[in-house]
Amino acid sequence: MPEKEFRRKIKAYYTENVAKEWRRLKSAALPKLEFDTTMHLLKRYLPKRGLILDAGGGPGRYAFTLAKSGYEITLFDFTKANLDFAVRKAKREHLQNKLKLTAEGSLNDLSIFKSNSFDAVICLGGPLSHVMSRAKREKAAEELIRVAKHGAPILVSVMNSMSSMIGFVRRFQNELEASYFNDYLETGDYPGGYGFTAFHGFKPEELEHLFEDKDVNIMGIFALEGFASYSDAELGKLRRNPRRFNIWMKAHYKTINHPSSIGISQHMMIVCRKR
């Protein structure tokens, strides 16, 4: 499929699903785990204060959470509908002074921002996975690094292609006979059309290679759902027993940097620091 058609399909999906995307990270046990683990890593690596670029931030779930913690946020997204939602919500919640700017565009072109502008750069929930061209993913990584100040953390989460093998067994068996299946195993490119839009699934080593040999030090790659991937019902049941859930969460955080957990996680995050 031509890249232009992928872009049209992706933008249409997120334009039509703004409210769904806003609710996603609070809607069920597994997305909540993605959110909680992401916040755990943000608290570990973000500076105590400063201006953060939320690149591909959608309707602003992370932007608003961080704004309420005192950060100043620039929200940048591919979809105008997401940005319009964020502007309205900022007014309702009296956070206009924290949401410094909303801007529309693609991750591979952050030219509206000067180099070395932000105290931290985040790209969360998988927006880099919606850049379907390998060359443009490379450019996007360069741009995310360029706009960060020296010493600033850069946190990028993506969708994991290998974890989908669990999904094909547990939830998507009908897609095993789809025409795209073998190509997906080879390339990580999902064409969309089965309840979700087009995306590129990364292998862990591919994500690491994308940020190698650039002006950053890689601090680590981390699983966001880890061993709970594709286990929403089971995790929901576990959440109803706070004592057991607390035990499991401690184990989860201890293992999020283990290769086994990263390899099967639906989303994974790379954390870098600009030199």
What class is the 3-274 domain? alpha beta
Whether this prediction's pTM lies above 0.85 is answered by yes
Residue type at position 270: I
pLDDT of residue 275 exceeding 80: yes
For residue 142, how many C-alpha atoms fall within 13 Å in the half-sphere facing its CB? 10
pLDDT tens digit string along 154-166? Answer: 999 999 999 989 9
3-class secondary-structure state, position 99? strand
Question: Can you say whether the dihedral through the CA atoms of 7, 142, 121, 28 is positive or negative?
Answer: positive
Q: Could you give the CA distance from residue 114 to residue 179 in angstroms, rounded to a whole number?
A: 43
pLDDT tens digit string along 59-109? Answer: 999 999 999 999 999 999 999 999 999 999 999 999 989 998 899 999 999
Give me the pLDDT at residue 129, please.
98
Bridge partners for 223 per DSSP:
268
Q: Could you give the CA distance from residue 213 to residue 198 in angstroms, rounded to a whole number?
A: 28
For residue 155, how many C-alpha atoms fall within 13 Å in the half-sphere facing its CB? 28
Mean per-residue pLDDT over the chain, rounded: 96
Scored b (16 or more CB within 10 A) or e, 10-20 reads bbebbeebbee
pLDDT tens digit string along 187-205? Answer: 999 999 888 999 999 999 9
Q: Could you give the CA distance from residue 167 to residue 270 in angstroms, rounded to a whole number?
A: 22
Per-residue pLDDT, averaged over 4-28, amounts to: 93
Give me the pLDDT at residue 3, please.
80
The pLDDT confidence band at residue 1, using thresholds 50, 70 and 90, is low
Q: Could you give the CA distance from residue 73 to residue 55 in angstroms, rounded to a whole number?
A: 10
From 42, 47, 52, 53, select the one nearest 110 (Cα to Cα): 53
* Residue extents of the structural domains in the chain: 3-274
Per-residue pLDDT, averaged over 40-48, amounts to: 98
pLDDT of residue 2 exceeding 80: no
